[in-house]
Amino acid sequence: EDQVTQSPEALRLQEGESSSLNCSYTVSGLRGLFWYRQDPGKGPEFLFTLYSAGEEKEKERLKATLTKKESFLHITAPKPEDSATYLCAVNTGTASKLTFGTGTRLQVTL
């Protein structure tokens, strides 16, 4: 059975303090790894998809990387508006079925 584990569960950073979120996965055959951002009371907002080890994608202060066993979401010089829960998900079969981790709750303070 596919498994996705995210760490840490919660992370508190000061504004400008860079850090990384981890997503480790155990799957039978990865066809895509997804990162989403979710604000309280809202739906997941798409950030990135990574397909193969070594791939990297960037968007503003966020950078996602992928290895054969895990993915990292690097946050450079975060701002308070980056506070959210970041979700990682894997797709190992049809595009219909994403297996999600439980997320990392990020809080960025002034």
Partner 1 sequence: NAGVMQNPRHLVRRRGQEARLRCSPMKGHSHVYWYRQLPEEGLKFMVYLQKENIIDESGMPKERFSAEFPKEGPSILRIQQVVRGDSAAYFCASSLSPGTRNTIYFGEGSWLTVV
Q: State both tokens at 81.
A: 């508006």
Q: Does 34 bind partner 1 (CB under 8 A)?
A: yes
Taking the least distance from each CB to partner 1, the nearer of 48 and 78 is 48
Residue 43's region, left for phi above 0, alpha for psi from -120 to 50, else beta, is beta
Q: Does 46 bind partner 1 (CB under 8 A)?
A: yes
Residue 82's region, left for phi above 0, alpha for psi from -120 to 50, else beta, is alpha
Q: Which three-class secondary structure state does DSSP give residue 38? A: strand
Q: Does 102 bind partner 1 (CB under 8 A)?
A: yes
Stretch binding partner 1 (CB under 8 A), from 14-22, 59-67, 71-79, 90-98? 90-98
Taking the least distance from each CB to partner 1, the nearer of 41 and 54 is 41
Nearest Cα residue to 6 out of 105, 102, 107:
102
Q: Does 106 bind partner 1 (CB under 8 A)?
A: no
Q: How many whole angstroms separate alpha carbon 10 and alpha carbon 103?
A: 8
Q: Does 71 bind partner 1 (CB under 8 A)?
A: no
Residues in the chain: 110
Contact residue for partner 1 among 54, 68, 95, 110 (CB under 8 A)? 95
**Residues found near partner 1 in the complex (CB under 8 A):** 4, 31-32, 34, 36, 41-46, 49, 51, 87, 89, 91, 94-103
